[in-house]
Amino acid sequence: MQERVQRETLKRILEDNASAEYLQSLGLNGRTDPESFKACVPMVTHKELEPYIYRIIDGDASPILTGKPITTMSLSSGTTQGKPKYVPWNDELYETTMQIYQTSFAFRNREFPIMLW
């Protein structure tokens, strides 16, 4: 079950971002299967993505890293190597993140209720 959900999630992410320059430059060519993803998309660091991020910061609105427009750049707390990093956000990522936080909060509250005395 978990593997199926992960495959479906990856497929949806790749479909939503098929037009992104970054994925196209790696030769994914719209493929959405895990095998193609593993074969084409390497592990990278934030530093390797910085040229793309700075293009977005400089106003390039084309689909560089994501298929949907980047609406916000957040600045990290700088806990990695003591240097803050720009983190791109879009509306869908924001909504997904909020759902994760809400689900996590509901679970924590159920398992460890906050007692107000």
Average confidence (pLDDT) over 7-32: 93
Q: What is the CA angle 7-11-17, rounded to 5? A: 145
Among the listed residues 48, 47, 86, the one whose alpha carbon sits nearest the alpha carbon of residue 70: 86
Tell me if 53 sits within 8 A of 65, measured CB to CB: yes
Residue 87's DSSP bridge partners are: 74
For 75, list phi and psi in degrees, rounded to 5.
-110, 125
Indicate if the pLDDT at residue 112 is higher than 80: no
Domain ranges for the chain: 1-43
Cα 10 from Cα 64, distance rounded (Å): 19
pLDDT tens-digit readout, 55-70: 999 999 999 999 999 9
Indicate if the pLDDT at residue 50 is higher than 90: yes
